[in-house]
């Protein structure tokens, strides 16, 4: 059975960058979330309330399938956890009125049924980034869609992440302070990250 390391953190926190580097050092496979493959994405941008349930269900199903394959076959690093699908993004859509109560209840019922059939990750790496750090990194990578998002949206996600990570207990958690650690501008910091991660997963 393969080992699974999952990353979590707000958009722009640096999950994919560090996940890729960690996977390379450990010689694990790596799974990056592919947003553009979701056939509901374009519809969602035009009418979020109508298509939010479809969008999130598609993401949830495909992440579940990827995790099931990985846990049976190989050591893998995932740049986003399945828990964020429900606890952050679906919850945010519900709280902002873009997903109905009936849809949200159906979604969370499906989510909890799915995770009962998944083994817990061997480690969750949480990238803890404040709003200023998030905005700096979003500007640095320059994705037009993200640059157009109101700051209030990132602040809402930040609140949900803070609430969720306080109660998360499905695996060991390794926190990275994104205000201090930035392997893009200071690659040598990866050495410390790797020492800590290897100590946890091999301990």
Residue whose entry in the numeric block shows the structure tokens 């995790």: 67
Whole-model pTM?
0.91
Residue pLDDT, tens place only, 31-65: 998 777 888 887 887 888 999 999 999 999 999 99
Q: Residues with Cβ < 8 Å from 100, sequence gap 6 or more?
A: 53, 94
Q: What is the DSSP letter of 16?
A: H
Question: Residue 105: CB partners within 8 Å, gap ≥ 6?
Answer: none
Domain ranges of the chain: 4-202
- Angle between helical axes of 131-141 and 151-167 (0-180°, round to 10): 120
Where in the sequence numbering do the catalytic residues fall?
A: 79
Length of the chain: 203
Per-residue pLDDT tens digits for 163-196: 999 999 999 999 999 999 989 889 999 999 999 9
pLDDT of residue 145: 67
Question: 172, exposed or middle or buried, with CB in 10 Å at 0-12, 13-18, 19+?
Answer: middle
* pLDDT 10s digits, 119-173: 999 999 999 999 888 888 888 877 776 777 778 888 999 999 999 999 999 999 9
Domain 4-202's class?
A: alpha beta
What ranges make up the beta strands (E) of 38-185?
76-78, 123-128, 173-177
State which H helix or E strand residue 151 sits in.
Answer: helix 151-167
């Amino acid at each position: 059975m393969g080992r699974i390391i999952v990353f979590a953190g707000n958009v722009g926190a640096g999950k994919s960058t560090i996940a890729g580097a960690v996977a390379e050092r450990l010689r694990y496979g790596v799974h990056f979330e592919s947003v553009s493959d979701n056939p509901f994405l374009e519809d969602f941008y035009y009418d979020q309330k109508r298509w939010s349930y479809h969008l999130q269900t598609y993401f949830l199903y495909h992440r579940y399938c990827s995790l099931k394959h990985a846990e049976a076959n190989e050591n893998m690093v995932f740049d986003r956890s399945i828990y964020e699908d429900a606890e952050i993004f679906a919850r945010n859509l519900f709280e902002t009125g873009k997903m109905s109560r009936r849809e949200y209840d159906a979604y969370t019922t499906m989510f909890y049924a799915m995770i009962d059939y998944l083994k817990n990750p061997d480690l969750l790496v949480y990238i803890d980034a404040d709003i200023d750090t998030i905005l700096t990194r979003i500007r640095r990578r320059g994705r037009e869609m993200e640059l157009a998002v109101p700051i209030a949206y990132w602040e809402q996600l930040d609140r949900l992440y803070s609430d969720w990570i306080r109660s998360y207990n499905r695996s060991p958690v390794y926190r990275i302070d994104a205000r201090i650690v930035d392997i893009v501008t200071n690659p040598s910091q990866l050495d410390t990250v790797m020492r800590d991660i290897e100590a946890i997963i091999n301990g």
